[in-house]
Amino acid sequence: MPKDILLAHARKYPLIQPRDAVKLLYQSEFGGGHLIRDEKTCLAFLQQEYDATAQSNTPLLEEIGSGMVRVQLSALDAHGYAPQQLGQDFIRSAAAACGSMAGLQQKLQLLEELTALGQMPFSVRELACYLDEYRQAGYPAVSHSETYRSAYHPAYRVMRACYLPERIQDLLQNSKIVR
């Protein structure tokens, strides 16, 4: 599944950089709980980001593997998903998140293989340079690259799909999801 997810993201986001691919893999392994310092601040930051995000009728969910999804803030209104409810669901999901360094390392190896096969929109050298720094830094959570942010304006929360409200989970089963 990580292979399909990586290739789908490379098609959908052709300006994806090594940093963004690593972020995707990190999120699919560990979720988005690194954003939570305390619940009150987390909810306030979500509300602030939601208020600054233009609403549209785009897909709400983007599958990222390992049972994780990105919930697009720009689609909350169109799908009747209040930011306050998303915040509570996100916090519950983050508390249950798991993952392993071994799992992340396997996913990074897959990324290297796909890049070597020319299936990612960056070079083997670009990825190798980034991964060297990333590994030396201890495999931290990272932000999107400036290139990605400028091109795609990401605004989402990562969570386990099983913590979404049932009516939102139905979107996954009905294939109304970005792939």
At 1, is the pLDDT very low, low, confident or very high (cuts 50, 70, 90)? low
Residue 59's pLDDT is: 93
Q: State mean pLDDT over 99-121.
A: 97
Residue 133 maps to a domain:
yes
Asked if pLDDT for residue 147 goes beyond 50, the answer is yes
Confidence check: pLDDT of 70 > 80: yes
Average pLDDT (85-99) is 90
**Which residues, in sequence order, are CB contacts of 49 under 8 Å at separation 6+?**
73, 155
Give the whole-angstrom CA distance, residue 60 versus residue 66: 18
Q: What are phi and psi of 54, to 5 degrees?
A: -65, 135
Cβ atoms of residues 114 and 6 within 8 Å: yes
Question: 173 lies in a domain?
Answer: no
* Domain enclosing residue 155, as ranges: 2-168
- Whether 176 is in a domain gets the answer no
- Using alpha carbons, select from 158, 118, 122 the residue that is nearest to residue 23: 158
The stretch 93-109 carries a mean pLDDT of 92
Nearest to 139 by CA among 98, 109, 101, 95: 101
Instruction: Count helices and strands (H / E) in the chain.
Output: 8, 3
What average pLDDT does the chain have?
92
Residue 131 within any structural domain of the chain: yes
The reported pLDDT for the residue numbered 96 is 84
Average the pLDDT over each of 29-33, 42-46, 47-51 and give the range with the smallest value: 29-33
Residues facing 9 on adjacent strands: none
Structure tokens at 87: 């915040």
Which pLDDT does position 174 carry in this prediction? 65
Domains contained in the chain, number: 1
Compare 39 and 118 and report the one with higher pLDDT. Answer: 118
pLDDT at 33 over 80: no
Indicate whether 175 belongs to any domain.
no
pLDDT for 73 equals 98
* 41 assigned to some structural domain: yes
Per-residue confidence (pLDDT) for residue 49, from 0 to 100: 96
Cα–Cα distance between 130 and 50 in angstroms, integer? Answer: 31
How far does the chain reach from its first CA to its final CA, in angstroms? 12
Instruction: Give the C-alpha separation, 90 to 31, whole Å.
Output: 10
Examine residue 62 and state whether it is found in any structural domain, yes or no: yes
Q: Evaluate whether residue 178 is within a structural domain.
A: no
Q: Residues 111, 21: contact at Cβ < 8 Å?
A: yes
Q: What is the pTM of this model?
A: 0.92
